[in-house]
Structure 1
Amino acid sequence: MMHPEAEKLVQAGKLSRPDGEKLSKLQAGACVVHKSWGAGRIAEWDLLGDRLVVDFEEKKGHPLKLSFAIGSLDLLPDEHLLARRVADLDGLKKLATENPAELVELSLKSHGNSMSLDALEALLSPRVVSAADYKTWWSAAKKALKDRRHVVVPAKRTELLMRRDAEGVTPADAMIADLAKARDMKAKLTALARIQKDLDLFTDRSTQLAPAFDEVSNTVRKAWKLHPKEALQLLLARDELAEVAKAALPEGSFKIEELLRDARPTLAEASSALPAALLSRFYRAFPSAFPERAWVQESLNHLTKTGGRAVAEIAAVLDANDELDQLAEFLKRSVRNRQLSTDLLIWMCKERNGKSESVFDIDLGNAIISAIEDDNAAGGPKRVGRLYDAFAEDAGLVGEMVKDADDDELRLFSKRILASQVFDDLTRRSLMGRLIKARPELQELMENNASRQESALVVSWESMEKRKVDLEDLVKNKIPQNKKDIQIAREYGDLRENFEYKSARQQQAVLLRLQSKYERELRNARGTDFVGSSTETVGIGTIVDIEDVVTGAKQTYTILGAWDGDPDKHILSYLSEMAKALIGKKPGEESEVPTDSGASRKVRVVAIRPYITAAA
């Protein structure tokens, strides 16, 4: 009903009837809001003076002409938070202290049931909750809101705080509806996460979640070509929800395996955006997504294209499917061809006692130095520091790399560290100290070979052929048989208590490491028949007669290639300590040679003759 005074103004033609009706509501004591001056309370009605006086929160006793007030003021309901902030600020402060969840819900009701966290803070701070206390207050409010499932607290500040207010609709049904109403895949992913968070609200999960699963399938089927990254994440999140809820996907659902096959060319790039929680699920789908054993090569292809988190997940899937031999072969080839990413190199260092054990050797050390030098030459991208730190700061790393290296490899590796410009003096000295600690003979090698020409591993043709046969037997027989043994042992049951499985896996590590050793040695080997060996001094391909300086006892030794040693026949590898003590000596010269007891004895070189003549 229109106020009598307002009716007079309408009758006099000074106000329209709609304006008169609105003016009738803007009576003294009513709470209003202005878009610029905020909330206030009408303090005075002065129709004769053609004005209203409003006490705004920051502007008390502010007069407004009637026509301006009618057009610019909006009446606030008594329960609106702004009205209560004006009329009962102390009551709101008490509510903030005693029932923060109720205050949040009141804010949402007053704001159309959804608002950003920034908007909530602007509404309550500093008038209701002081700026200094707001962060602590909001933490308490979030905890209290956990029991109010119809209020959705966002995981990120960029998302909206929402209140569901649909009569007769359960919170579970409301969450399914939110998923259906979400406009893009990012919003649907957020809605799906909320469903998983409040899964306990679903009483019949298979039935209630079916519409959500169908919604995801239909969305991905239509949009994956335009948005492969988002589609992949949404489908994986759906599968995770189905697994957690123990709910089967409806018949005809778009499966992750289908997406992997269809999006195969862009998978590596699409997977780069996946959170860590979904990476494992992504790569675990490979064996069923790709026919026969194509999944192995697909996984290996991803190793050099993805980041550090993905490397670990790919290796775990290969390991779980007993494909460590394929991983080892790939890593060896990549080390030789210098095709390893920074993330993969760092992972290999971390896994040196695990999945990369068989390829953790001095070749990897050379590959790491090359990668650091290449990155440095290219201008030093941000990731250079990570690899440099992994190599320079891990106290045990370089020592473990060189433990199986031969003397020449060790000497060349050391010289490379000393010559590299990427290491500062302190780091260079530290690395050399670790190498000498791991291989004490290095110091003598560096001193004795300061002017020595670089040389390959010298071996007889016979021993080289035998080593090739041994390697072929490893690759074609022993390693494949070991792989079968692992697969058979896996069928025996619980792997934690499966002795046969553990034993077979340990043997696999030994065989793969031996394969790497043989391959490295054969790459560095130089075959010879020892023809033309000089007899001026003791050397490779000579027979030397010696006598004990004290007892006069005489012995004859043949010094041949690295793999030719046969103590029972007095044939020495030139890398043996006995041969090293004799090499370079002339007839009549003396030398300290080791004994089986660990002591030494002094011997004199009596005569030297060529091995090939004796053999002939």
Structure 2
Amino acid sequence: METLVTEWKRWWTSAKKAMKAGGYYSIPTKKSEPIALRSEPVSRADELLTFFNQARQPKEQGAAVDQIIKFHGEFKDPQFQLQPIIEKIESTAGQNQKLHSALTFELVLARDDLLERIPQLKSTRPDLTLERLIAEEESRLTTILPKLPSAKERRVLQALPRALGDRWVTRAWQMMMSNNQRLASQIPRVFIENGHQAELVSFLERAVREHSAASEILLWLCRERASFPSLITPDLLTAILAALERDQHNEASRSSRLRDLLLEDRELISDIFAKADIGAARDVMRRLLLTPVFDDLTKRSLIARVIKLYPDLESMVTGGQPEEKRESLVVSWSSLDKRKAEYEELIKKKIPENTREIALARSYGDLSENFEFKAAKQMQAVLMRRKSELEQMLHRAQGTDFSNPDTTQVSIGTIVRLRDVASSKEESYTILGAWDGDPERRIISYQTAIGQALLGKKPGERVTLNTDYGMAIFELVAIKAAPVDTARQEAQEQEVAVG
């Protein structure tokens, strides 16, 4: 039966094509309308002109123009027949720019196609260009472009550099962050085609690191990961979890596709951890255990993939003493005090307030339609997850003021001066505790990739680091002690003064 249907459709398509070619039949665009038999044949060109002139809505005009472009070769006197079409297109486009911006883009693109195919035609509105439209509608592009057919959307995106000048890179990234599927997949091509892959990688790296990447961007990155190996790290998985958690209660969310990919792509976890150490894997496993977006069975399935790569981490699931519990985190007294203060506020203020909000929302009844209850429960999950994270971190934390560090080699509490072997440019890093990172001041945690690469190195030795500009070789020039963290001493002195 299926074969018969396929054969019939093929025959019917050929039959309609033959009827159109003869000119005696009028084939409607809608299936509900009848086929009309004419007394005299009508050329396809005349039929298309009639279709355009009888169009009552701008959208119908746009569809007619697309057909005219497709069969432009059948017009015997294109300048005479189609010049009025150009004028009508430009008039309609100008009138509809504010109310129907997407249609205006389509009409201008169609006008440009006709002018390109038929050089005899002339524009009556040379000021009405695609570049001008983009510049004037820049702030609304994110809502306009998804309404265009994919091919036309791509043409608009390709025109961004011409229309916006130097600011196109920033605007393109903002559009990519809008969580639209097509924009997330098309805009990277524009970056690459215009020689801005480095900027794209930088934007993506920051979004992944800060967990601000939208689910559609992460979905695209996972699928295209072979082209961006430097971004496929454990940070990507934590960014995915953050996106899923962020979208969990958003009915309009598209993150279900990202969730499905994470579960169904059996190679993704392996690729993410291909070059990761066991510490990074341990942190991600802890994150997986705490996330509310998966049920226990799904969590175990994902964690099993990590354990397959790092068998020593099985104790985190089986209930044995996890390895990370035995490892301490070296932290400054000031950062430790901040974490303790956050934990105290969580326990004494935020969680009790949330409990009261849940009780109040529950009193409104009908929990299935109770937005306040859902929002309060969502916040409860966030607060409890943070509480668990803080408890684990505080349990492992070992405070220090970084006094008397070993300056014969790079150690925690030292400042190391490096020289780029290729450029001779020098830069310094301060290696401090797990929670003390401040990239803008070149202060890094000893747990970071750069920190781990530098620890134990001595002056004169060389080390390869992954910088913002790629891999580079540095020589250690000098090591000195970092300033002492006086937070604990100041607190003690204040207590004595108060006492």
Alignment of 1:130-141 (within 5 A): 139=13, 141=15
1:284 matched residue in structure 2: 158
Greater relative contact order structure (CA < 8 Å, 6+ sep): 2
Determine the C-alpha separation between the residues in 1 that align with 2:55 and 2:67: 13
C-alpha distance 248-315 of structure 1, shift in aligned 2 (>3 A): farther
Determine the C-alpha separation between the residues in 1 that align with 2:130 and 2:280: 48
1:405 matched residue in structure 2: 276
- Give the counterpart letter for 1:448 in structure 2: E
Determine the C-alpha separation between the residues in 2 that align with 1:428 and 1:413: 12
Of residues 165, 170, 176, the one that matches 1:297 is: 170
In the alignment, is the contact (CA less than 8 A) between 1:311 and 1:344 conserved in 2? yes
2:233 matched residue in structure 1: 361
**Comparing 155-164 with 183-192, which one deviates more in the overlay?**
155-164
Q: Within the alignment, does 1:449 sit opposite 2:324 as a pair?
A: yes
- Give the counterpart letter for 1:214 in structure 2: E
- Give the counterpart letter for 1:384 in structure 2: S
In the alignment, is the contact (CA less than 8 A) between 1:237 and 1:278 conserved in 2? no
Of residues 364, 370, 375, the one that matches 2:247 is: 375
1:187 matched residue in structure 2: 60
| Deviation sequence 1:177-232 (CA, Å, 0-9, x none) | 53244222111011112213323313455665433233212211122112112212
Q: Partner of 1:421: helix, strand, or coil?
A: coil
Determine the C-alpha separation between the residues in 1 that align with 2:124 and 2:425: 45
C-alpha distance 328-443 of structure 1, shift in aligned 2 (>3 A): same
2:455 matched residue in structure 1: 564
In the alignment, is the contact (CA less than 8 A) between 1:271 and 1:279 conserved in 2? yes
Alignment of 1:330-341 (within 5 A): 330-341=203-214
- Give the counterpart letter for 1:525 in structure 2: S
1:11 matched residue in structure 2: none
Shift of 1:280: 1.1
1:426 matched residue in structure 2: 297
1:417 matched residue in structure 2: 288
C-alpha distance 135-324 of structure 1, shift in aligned 2 (>3 A): closer
Structure 2: runs of 5+ lacking an equivalent: 1-6, 333-401, 403-409, 428-437, 464-479, 482-499
Alignment of 1:533-548 (within 5 A): none
Q: Within the alignment, does 1:265 sit opposite 2:139 as a pair?
A: yes
Determine the C-alpha separation between the residues in 1 that align with 2:424 and 2:220: 26
Shift of 1:397: 1.1
Of residues 195, 205, 219, the one that matches 1:322 is: 195
C-alpha distance 134-391 of structure 1, shift in aligned 2 (>3 A): closer
In the alignment, is the contact (CA less than 8 A) between 1:456 and 1:526 conserved in 2? no
Q: Partner of 2:454: helix, strand, or coil?
A: coil
1:232 matched residue in structure 2: 105
C-alpha distance 429-306 of structure 1, shift in aligned 2 (>3 A): closer
| Deviation sequence 1:214-255 (CA, Å, 0-9, x none) | 321221112211211221222223334555667775363421
2:434 matched residue in structure 1: none
> What's the RMSD between the two structures over aligned residues?
4.4
Determine the C-alpha separation between the residues in 2 that align with 1:271 and 1:471: 47
C-alpha distance 184-266 of structure 1, shift in aligned 2 (>3 A): same
What's the TM-score once normalised by structure 2's chain length? 0.61
What's the TM-score once normalised by structure 1's chain length? 0.50
Determine the C-alpha separation between the residues in 2 that align with 1:423 and 1:471: 47
In the alignment, is the contact (CA less than 8 A) between 1:272 and 1:306 conserved in 2? no
Q: Partner of 2:293: helix, strand, or coil?
A: coil
Determine the C-alpha separation between the residues in 2 that align with 1:335 and 1:471: 30
Structure 1: runs of 5+ lacking an equivalent: 1-132, 478-517, 528-559, 573-610
Shift of 1:345: 1.5
2:264 matched residue in structure 1: 393
| Deviation sequence 1:383-414 (CA, Å, 0-9, x none) | 23211111121111122222333432221101
- Give the counterpart letter for 2:327 in structure 1: R
1:577 matched residue in structure 2: none
In the alignment, is the contact (CA less than 8 A) between 2:176 and 2:217 conserved in 1? yes
Q: Partner of 1:449: helix, strand, or coil?
A: helix
- Give the counterpart letter for 2:241 in structure 1: I
| Deviation sequence 1:564-591 (CA, Å, 0-9, x none) | 345999999xxxxxxxxxxxxxxxxxxx
In the alignment, is the contact (CA less than 8 A) between 2:20 and 2:44 conserved in 1? no
- Give the counterpart letter for 1:217 in structure 2: E
- Give the counterpart letter for 1:297 in structure 2: T
Q: Partner of 2:213: helix, strand, or coil?
A: coil
C-alpha distance 327-225 of structure 1, shift in aligned 2 (>3 A): same
In the alignment, is the contact (CA less than 8 A) between 2:78 and 2:118 conserved in 1? yes
Alignment of 1:565-604 (within 5 A): 565-566=456-457
Determine the C-alpha separation between the residues in 2 that align with 1:317 and 1:245: 28
Determine the C-alpha separation between the residues in 2 that align with 1:318 and 1:362: 25
- Give the counterpart letter for 2:293 in structure 1: V
C-alpha distance 447-306 of structure 1, shift in aligned 2 (>3 A): closer
Determine the C-alpha separation between the residues in 2 that align with 1:284 and 1:164: 45
Larger Rg: 1
Determine the C-alpha separation between the residues in 2 that align with 1:406 and 1:223: 58
In the alignment, is the contact (CA less than 8 A) between 1:373 and 1:422 conserved in 2? yes
Q: Partner of 1:460: helix, strand, or coil?
A: coil
Shift of 1:382: 5.5
Q: Percent of aligned pairs with the same residue?
A: 28
1:218 matched residue in structure 2: 91
C-alpha distance 261-139 of structure 1, shift in aligned 2 (>3 A): same
Q: Within the alignment, does 1:343 sit opposite 2:220 as a pair?
A: no
